[in-house]
Amino acid sequence: MRFFKTNIYILLSGVILGILLTVQFKTVNKITIANIPYDRKNQQLIMDIRKIRKDKTLLEKRLNELNDIANQYEKQKALESKNINKLFNEVEVYKMISGCKDVYGPGIIIEINDFNNDFDYLDTNELYTKKLKLLLNLINNLKSLNAEAISINGLRYTSRTEIVLAGLHIEINGVSVNTPLTIKAIGNPDLLEEVVNFTIYTSDFDIRLEKQQNILIPRYKKVLEFRYAKPVLIRDNY
C-alpha cells in the first residue's frame, strides 16, 4: 500500500509538471526574441521570455527526475513477481510504441539545409510549401519502411504529431521550426537510406544523409490528453 501511494504521488507530480511544461512550451515557442524590436518598452518582455525559458528547463529537469524515480520503483516491484515483471515489460513496449519512452538503436540521420538564405528567394511562400512537402514525404516514406522511431529537430514524431505550415515557419507539436532540419529515424539503416535517396532525388535543398549504429531519440514530451475518447468496457453501451 505504501508503494502504491508513493507511486500515485510521483505520478500526480509528473502530470502537474507535464501540464505546466505544455503551457510554457506553447507560450515560449510562439514568441521569438529575434522578432521583437529591442527598445525599452520591449526589454521587460524579452526578460520575461528568458525567465519562462529558464523555468521551463528547470521543470523539464524535475519531471525527468520524477520519471526516473517512478521507473526505479516499477523495476523494483517487477522483480518481486513474475506476473508483475511480465506486465512491466508489456507496459515498456507500449510506451515505446506510443513514443512516451526514450529509445536508441541503428538508423539514419538526415540534415536538410537551404542552398541560400530564405530572403534570397523571390517567393518565400513557395519555398516553405516545398519544405513542408519534402518533410512530409520523408516522414511518410520512413514510416512505410517500418522506421520504429522518428524525431524532427529533437521533437518525437508520433501518431498525434501535427506538422503544419504556419506563416513563414513549420509547426511540429506546436513548436516552430525551420531549416536546418535534423530528422533521426531508427530502423534498418540500409532500407531507410534507400528510400530517402529515392525521395530526395530531385530536391531544392541541400540534404545530407548519414547511417549510424547508435541513434538516441527522445520521448514525446507533451501531455497526452483524451478529452472526448473513453476506453470501451464490456458493460458499456456503444
pLDDT at 34: 47
pLDDT at 122: 52
Query: Looking at residues 69-93, what average pLDDT do you find?
Result: 73
How far apart are the C-alpha atoms of 56 and 12, rounded to whole Å?
A: 18
User: Where does CATH 3.30.70.1880 sit in the chain?
Assistant: 103-217
Q: Residue 47 above 80 pLDDT? A: no
Interacting residues of 98 by C-beta distance below 8 A, sequence separation 6+: 158, 159, 220, 224
Quote the distance between the C-alpha of residue 45 and its chain's center.
27
CA distances from 41 to 29, 38, 44, 47 (A): 21, 8, 7, 11
Q: Residue 110 above 90 pLDDT? A: yes
Enter the C-alpha cell of residue 210. Answer: 548519414
For 3-31, the pLDDT digits (tens) are 444 555 555 555 555 555 555 555 555 55
Looking at per-residue pLDDT, the higher value among 185 and 102 belongs to: 185
Looking at per-residue pLDDT, the higher value among 160 and 152 belongs to: 152
Helix, strand, coil % (nearest 5) of the chain? 50, 20, 30
pLDDT at 232: 80
Is the preceding omega at residue 231 within 30 degrees of 0, hence cis? no
Q: Residue 225 above 80 pLDDT? A: no
pLDDT at 3: 45
Q: 196, 138 in Cβ contact below 8 A?
A: yes
At residue 198 the predicted structure's pLDDT band, cuts being 50, 70 and 90, is confident
Query: Looking at residues 56-82, what average pLDDT do you find?
Result: 72
Query: Looking at residues 29-45, what average pLDDT do you find?
Result: 56
Query: Looking at residues 135-151, what average pLDDT do you find?
Result: 92
At residue 2 the predicted structure's pLDDT band, cuts being 50, 70 and 90, is very low
Average pLDDT, the chain: 76
CATH code that applies to domain 103-217? 3.30.70.1880
Neighbours of 175 (CB within 10 A): 19
How far apart are the C-alpha atoms of 34 and 210, rounded to whole Å?
A: 32
Torsion of Cα atoms, 213 then 216 then 217 then 223, to 10°: 150
Q: 18, 63 in Cβ contact below 8 A?
A: yes
Q: Residue 215 above 90 pLDDT? A: yes
pLDDT at 183: 95
- Look up the pTM and report it: 0.66
The number of residues in the chain equals 238
